[in-house]
Structure 1
């Protein structure tokens, strides 16, 4: 009887190798890929999702892409096991993903779950003690296989039952990727992405933006986190943020992201970025947003200017003065 397993497939080297190792043992593999607004992947055709899909297509295995939703944002805001150096809840994140994987395993009739995790590779979530916590709290005790480091752990149920051959599993550990590169050559795994990259939750320059959204949100909106990768951000009220596009592509994305009751602004008298005013949009806040916008145009400082406001399909004009100096604008930056 052929056994079936669910792979957590990011599309990176480690998870790709883990899939190849089990496919070579005759296991039927189905992949899960999770997308996040905090992934550092960039580019129209790049990124974790497309890499995972590419790997799945190359190996001819089915893949399901799942989006981390508002429940994941709550994990980021208040993780049981704490944050790393930034806002990264690495242990709780792995538990969250593996709980989802277990649900999918049961739904799909698979026998176990496996990952590309390597003992000692990541300082927070891949220590021996935290790996045990993750396995226990995800509800996958005995059914979570880590093929690349399997020989550093007690045999799992798939190994005990002979579903997989433990002797063909690996004993990789540590942060060096040398063994993975050698294994990739041995297994004829090619075109894998650079192992660098990761999560914006670990980047100091990004953490302040994330905290700002958490601190000023009654209800968490995935849209607000996705937009953190775009434009220049300014906090002008407890429930109001201004985001300025840095190019026409960002202007278009911001325009599409505006929700009912929110507004966009442009300078009427010349070339202008688009300013998306998100949250509350009182007249006072719209004028403040317009003054920020004017600092990024060729409008004369101290002079009157006209702004076009589009809100809920209705266009109006606002006259204000380009009155904010650079220091005042920078004080509002997030």
Structure 2
């Protein structure tokens, strides 16, 4: 029986591509990639809807090295889509033998994304993957030259599609026809495409060559302030953020809380100076109920240790906040 590996991002297009090939009587196994910037949650949900098994490949470390220095550069934010797709195809190609599969399916659509899915980019990805004769793009196959799989009769070309451009009409009609629901927006699962996260990551890499996993996770949470080359302040916005960020803190990180007023938990990560510590206290004052007071008492100490320090400060002004905050 013919067998294919379908690269499943968790979005609609890759799910439809897998379903289209499955409906030709071909066995399809989903392959999903996990990194520091995207995970398998959506892929798990989507493959259940089309009833195919899913294998998860964790390539976090290798992918992060690629993100820091992509051969083909970035998209609109800090997303190296061409290099990322190439790496995924290479990984998937190397799994063909393991799963005794004949070819690879992707959900790419010609010209859907102006930089990473134009004809030149698709050809680059195909060539540099190392498995150019094993790649099938079912959703736009009729806009491309026939593949080896079509010419040899493994796949019926007449049952493939000719979708092109940024419209989602055909995909949405197919989703309704096949009962595929609750699918995410395009690129919705990759943090590298989110402007706020991308800006924070780019800024972090300028100050820290080897960020930890915790550093990367913290980028998603709170308001961030760059106060010096080796220290950054984070102010939590909600109780939910406060609870989540604690999962990524260490006993080297310093916590600040207003003594007499409810308000934001503030953190310093890195190696702060005395001036950085004072400004963190002032940020704490700004985001507590005592922000309009002339002075507020701030207690602080290291995470999971007693707050053994106290300082009285004037809350930071809006002008100071604007000077140091990393805007989303």
Q: C-alpha displacement at 1:68, in angstroms?
A: 5.0
1:332–1:196: structure 2 CA closer, same or farther, 3 Å change rule?
same
Q: What is the 5 A alignment of 1:130-145?
A: 130-145=121-136
Paired with 2:176 and 2:296, the residues of 1 have a C-alpha distance of: 66
Offset at residue 163 of structure 1 (A): 2.1
Residue 263 of structure 1 contacts residue 281 of structure 1 at CA under 8 Å; is this kept in 2? no
Query: Which segment is superposed worse, 95-104 or 119-128?
Result: 95-104
Displacement after TM superposition at 1:132 (Å) = 0.9
Pair 185,327 (structure 1): closer, same or farther in 2 beyond 3 Å = closer
TM-score by length of 1: 0.87
Task: Write the distance in 1 (CA, Å) between the matches of 2:317 and 2:185.
Answer: 43
Cα distance in 2 for residues equivalent to 1:158 and 1:189? 28
SS of 2:138's partner is coil
What's the counterpart of residue 230 of structure 1?
Answer: 221
Secondary structure of the residue aligned to 1:242 is strand
Alignment of 1:27 onto 2:19: no
Give the unaligned 5+ runs of structure 2: none
Q: 1:221-260 residue pairs with structure 2 within 5 A?
A: 221-260=212-251
Counterpart contact for 1:261–1:281, Cα < 8 Å = no
Counterpart secondary structure, 1:229: coil
Of residues 145-154 and 160-169 in structure 1, the stretch that sits farther from structure 2 once superposed is: 160-169
User: C-alpha displacement at 1:197, in angstroms?
Assistant: 5.1
DSSP 3-state at the match of 1:285: helix
Indicate yes or no: 2:59 matched with 1:75. Answer: no
Deviation at 1:73, TM superposition (A): 2.6
Structure 1, residues 85-141: CA drift from partner, whole Å, max 9, x if none?
332222112112222222333433322211111111110111111111101111111
What is the aligned length?
324
* Compared CA separation, residues 194 and 208, structure 1 to 2 (3 A): closer
TM-aligned CA deviation for residue 279 of structure 1: 1.6
Aligned equivalents of 1:272, 1:139: Cα separation in 2: 54
Contact 1:70 1:222 in 2 (8 A): no
- Residues 112 and 144, structure 1, Cα contact 8 Å, conserved in 2: yes
Residue of 293, 307, 318 corresponding to 1:326: 318
Within 5 Å, give how 1:1-334 maps onto structure 2. Answer: 2-35=1-34, 38=37, 49-186=40-177, 188-193=178-183, 195-196=185-186, 198=188, 199-299=190-290, 300-311=292-303, 313-334=305-326
For residues 306 and 177 of structure 1, what CA distance do their matches in structure 2 show? 52
- Contact 2:31 2:57 survives alignment (8 Å): yes
Structure 1 runs not aligned, ≥5 long: 40-47
My pick for the range that moved more, 209-218 or 28-37, is 28-37
Provide the rounded CA distance (Å) in 1 between the counterparts of 2:304 and 2:169.
56
How well do the aligned residues superpose, as a CA RMSD in angstroms? 2.4
With normalisation by structure 2, the TM-score equals 0.89
User: Which one is further off, 192-201 or 89-98?
Assistant: 192-201
